[in-house]
Structure 1
Amino acid sequence: MAALAAEPTPPPGFQAIFNGRDLEGWHGLNPHVVTKLTGEKKETALQKMRAEFAQHWRVENGELVNIGTGPYATTDASFGDVELLIEYKTVAKADSGIYLRGNPQIQIWDIHQPDDVKKPDRHPRLGSGGLFNNTPKTPGRDPLVLADKPFGEWNSFRIRQIGDLTWVWLNDKLVVDRAKMENFWDKTLPFPASGPIMLQTHGGEIRWRNIFLRQITPAEASKILAEKK
């Protein structure tokens, strides 16, 4: 049963896309599974993920909580150009991320994990917020600065997505500056024009709260893109 909590109050111009009470507006989906399927098998998998969603995700004290298993929390709605505010708190050895337009991802690391010689392009010690699924060594793939707070403290993301360009602030520090997010599903195709926001499950408990979004108009997008980097 969802714990009772006051509905989060968004800043001016933003809307709450998680109501702090229940899972309304969200469903379960693992795109890495369904993209490999077609026809009846795909439809069966989609239905199964929706049915399992509430077994892996719960609402507790106004927080959206997952223990690291099950399908990803996925918005029913699709979005294009947006500014997203979201807070998270995780545990040791956890690995999570935020998918924009259904595309991975703004990475969340346990920064205390050592580098793995078998995975030379994986650097948790550099911090969260990078576009981990981009080509290694490209702009934005790793964060500009280490901005993570210690375990047990809430971290705050501000994310701006315009077209295929991404800006990420973690705890008020700019960690990705106008970097192109690649289309993970097919790097030969343009970045999707719209899609859901997805919260990844992978490796350990993660808690989310105060999930606010505002849609960026074409006029505002043009103004931002005209600014010098």
Structure 2
Amino acid sequence: MRRKLTGALLTLLALTVLGPGTAASQVSELSELSEQDGSGRLLRLFDGRGLTGWSQAGPGGFDVVDGVLRSRDGMGLLWYSARQFADYELRLQWRVSAPTDNSGVFLRFPDPGDDPWVAVNQGYEVQINDNPAGDPQKTGAIYNFQQPRTQASRPVGEWNDYRVRVIGQRYRVWLNGVLVNDFTSTDPARGDRGHLGLQNHDPTTRAEFRHITVRELHRR
């Protein structure tokens, strides 16, 4: 019978395999995984062909072009209406076509109907915006709540990897393998489960998304 590794054993394993200079963040993540290894199956939310399970709130939308989601017009919200999620890890790739492009990934908001502002006011947005002259909240920010620790975006036109881990009221964001935000919510207006969504921000932005997956996490 295969047994789960304890946090202490994983810490020892990290130091043994990775060496005594292993960063505390790496050891911490290994330990955390030991507490979350009741993970559910991987759910692919976008198959590269259609928008089954998704709905649009507000103006504009997303088109499926060459296997990716491409935004147009706005401001609107493409949201995964098939179901809600509580604790999970979201993985996706995104890219923009110009330095001024603006978009975002929304987390844990209730059914918005046709109003994209429900996601803004009752969920959390992980920002996508590297415009040096635009909104001061840059890529990796928890919009209106916490700025990113550092900038880790790739050049315009290249794909970026977002990994977002949501457990309880803690929200962590990795951009291209770099932890750029570690935020703990204290706002009672934000719930502990909800829908996921992608923002089509404005008519001049062309943001693209692909490889959108969620793995649910089950706390002990």
Q: What is the TM-score when the length of structure 2 is the normalising length?
A: 0.69
Structure holding more strand per residue: 2
Work out which of the residue numbers 98, 102, 109 in structure 2 matches 1:95.
102
Residue 145 of structure 1 aligns to a residue in which SS?
Answer: coil
Counterpart for residue 13 of structure 2: none
- CA offset at residue 193 of structure 1? 2.1
1:12-69 deviation per Cα after TM superposition (whole angstroms, max 9, x unaligned): 9422011111010100124xxxxxxxxxxxxxxxxxx7xxxxx632111210111242
Give unpaired runs (5+ residues) of structure 1. Answer: 1-11, 31-48, 50-54, 116-121, 135-140, 220-229
Percent of aligned positions with the same letter in both sequences? 29
**Could you tell me whether the CA contact under 8 Å between 1:131 and 1:181 is conserved in 2?**
no
- 1:82-133 per-residue CA deviation (whole Å, 9 max, x = no partner) reads 1000100113212111110121310110x24226xxxxxx525xx4111122
Distance in 2, matches of 1:212 and 1:68, equals 25
Normalising by structure 1, what TM-score? 0.66
Q: 1:29·1:71 contact (CA, 8 Å) conserved in 2? A: yes
Deviates more, 1:69-78 or 1:154-163: 69-78
What are structure 2's unaligned runs of at least 5 residues?
Answer: 1-39, 110-122
Question: Is the counterpart of residue 82 in structure 1 residue 101 in structure 2?
Answer: no
How far, CA to CA, are the matches of 2:73 and 2:180 in structure 1? Answer: 25
Letter aligned with residue 28 of structure 1: Q
Backbone CA RMSD of aligned residues: 2.0
The aligned runs of 1:1-229 (5 Å cut-off) are 13-30=41-58, 56-69=61-74, 71-76=76-81, 77-92=83-98, 93-102=100-109, 103-109=123-129, 111-114=130-133, 122-124=135-137, 127-134=138-145, 141-177=146-182, 179-181=183-185, 187=187, 189-203=188-202, 204-219=205-220
* Aligned residue number for residue 113 of structure 2: none
Q: Secondary structure at the match of 1:200?
A: strand
Count of aligned pairs between the two proteins: 164
Higher radius of gyration, 1 or 2: 2
Q: Distance in 2 between matches of 1:81 and 1:90?
A: 28
Does the residue aligned with 1:101 lie in a helix, a strand or coil?
strand
The residue that corresponds to 1:3 in the other structure is none
Q: Is the 8 A contact 1:106 1:130 kept in 2?
A: yes
CA distance in 2, matches of 1:104, 1:191: 8
Q: CA separation in 2, counterparts of 1:190 and 1:81? A: 17
List, as ranges, runs of 4+ consecutive aligned residues in structure 1 with deviation greater than 4 Å: none
Q: Which amino acid aligns with 1:114?
A: A
Partners of 1:26 and 1:210 in 2: how far apart?
Answer: 15
Give the drift of 1:197. Answer: 0.2
How far, CA to CA, are the matches of 2:216 and 2:189 in structure 1?
20
